Structure 1
Amino acid sequence: MNTKTLDEAVLSAEKGRPLLFVNATVHTLDPVLGDLTGADLMVVGAEIVGVGPGLHTAAEDDNAVVVDCTGLALVPVFGAAPRSLTPGNPATFAVVPSGTAGSARTFEMLIWWPSQAPAVVADGEFVIFNGATLTSFVPPAPTSASPHLGVWVDSTGFLEQELTADGRYDETRDGRPHAYQGSFQIEGDRIVYHDDLGFWAYGRFTDGVLHHAGYVLTRRS
């Protein structure tokens, strides 16, 4: 099996050829798979088609560009939402030194702002390498520029959610202040929450209304 370093793979990647990342630590964000060490991840087109040990045995059959990720980690990054690195999901992730991804704060930073990573793959193509943008990839706009900032409330008054320009949210539930707090990121009409307790949640803006966790909220004027 002829492997390439990350640098060589970025420089030589041929559009249309599968990418096979081998010997990586893969932070799948999947509750069943968890974090995999010494694992392989196969990308065909814009999708992940396989993850786990032993995929490298099919490298020659698939004419894949094999990227040696010894000492590196693959981390999901923000798209429509952070998607797990599992088959069928978009091949969108950052490639970082494995020790870097061990920090919860750094891990969160990579998901929100993938341009900070040494390399980023989006929809199966290298789009960022060492801070340089290689394609027309556009990272998410800063949260401070979002038109959706402000206080959102549901019609019953049970839920009140404030979105602030520093990328933080603060929820009041049934009159109980600070019931949930954490960070958020908005891309287009979608919002992703990462609560300080560690869980993720999602929402969507439609015609001036925020749909989140079964609630329908409007912005307080």
Structure 2
Amino acid sequence: MNAVTSGSDPAAGPRDAPAGDLVVTDAVIHATPSRTIRGDLWAYRGRITHAGPQVGAVQPDAEVIPAGGAAVVPLLVDSAVRALPEGRRGAFDLVPGNPATFAVIGDRVTESRIRRMLVVQPGDLLAAVVAGQVEARRGRPTRPAGSGVSDDDARRWHGAWHDPGRDMTQHLLPGGRYTETRDGRRDAWTGSYWVCEDRITYFDDTGFWAFGQLVDGVLHHAGFILRRT
């Protein structure tokens, strides 16, 4: 799919430039976990419109994230990818038309790290973006934990989630806090979380960011496959 251009969207910038209300500049873009492109990533209304060499001028009202050569990586978990039909597994790729859901990371990022367990220290997280919404910037959340949660969100997310194979239960509490029980040890990990559509972003009290996704009622996070109890 080609980038959206000014000829196809009235909100686009100068001629031949894609539409962009969010633009990441000068990045190493992991279009897939194994394939990279150097350039800019543009998004409009939560969807990627361009990923590649610099194009046109950024609109004055666009939110700009200067990457300075940092990596832009898709937010995915291998188990969530495998849970989708084969024809939909490219839905996580950072290509035009797909959701603008990614992290901008300042340290080294390998394919294995992207696929299996993306955990990021605050000093290395330039931004975390879900469906075009910036959830974290410069290692800090952009909104209070628990904010913007609708009744539907509460029904989908709040409660206890259990992975029996790894003896882990994650409790997503109203108010945007979580606690995990591991191997019978309560409060083994605690922190804050934010939800947006089918994605969850965690900031642990010990000082790291992590990510997960809900697929068909199953929560996939850092190798865990969790179901509501």
> Which structure has the larger Rg over C-alpha atoms?
1
| TM-score (norm. length: structure 1) | 0.48
**TM-score scaled by structure 2?**
0.47
